[in-house]
Amino acid sequence: VMDHNALGASISGAGPSVFAWFESRAAADAAAPAVQAGFTAAGFDSQAWVSPIASPAARLLG
């Protein structure tokens, strides 16, 4: 994922999920097929989902 311009990536604590943040929807859309190809090459099935981050963004209160 990081080789495809992700800003950061992590894994789910409760299941077999990998997720990443990208600067734009276009960057995420471009990375998804390449990341899936990597999983396929390693012998794993995968699904890719591109979704916006819910708003409003985090902010400092007080």
Q: How many domains does the chain have?
A: 1
Looking at the domain assignment, is residue 35 inside a domain? yes
Residue 9 belongs to domain spanning: 2-41
Q: How much helix, strand and coil, in percent to the nearest 5, is found in the chain?
A: 30, 15, 55
Looking at the domain assignment, is residue 32 inside a domain? yes
**What confidence tens digit (pLDDT) does each residue in 36-61 have?**
999 999 999 999 999 988 777 778 88
Looking at the domain assignment, is residue 62 inside a domain? no
**What confidence tens digit (pLDDT) does each residue in 4-37 have?**
889 999 998 887 888 999 999 999 999 999 999 9
Looking at the domain assignment, is residue 54 inside a domain? no
Relative to beta strand 8-11, strand 18-21 is antiparallel
Looking at the domain assignment, is residue 53 inside a domain? no
With beta carbons less than 8 A apart as the criterion, state whether 2 and 18 touch: no
Dihedral sign for Cα atoms in the order 36, 50, 57, 15: negative
**In angstroms, how far is CA 21 from the centroid of its own chain?**
5
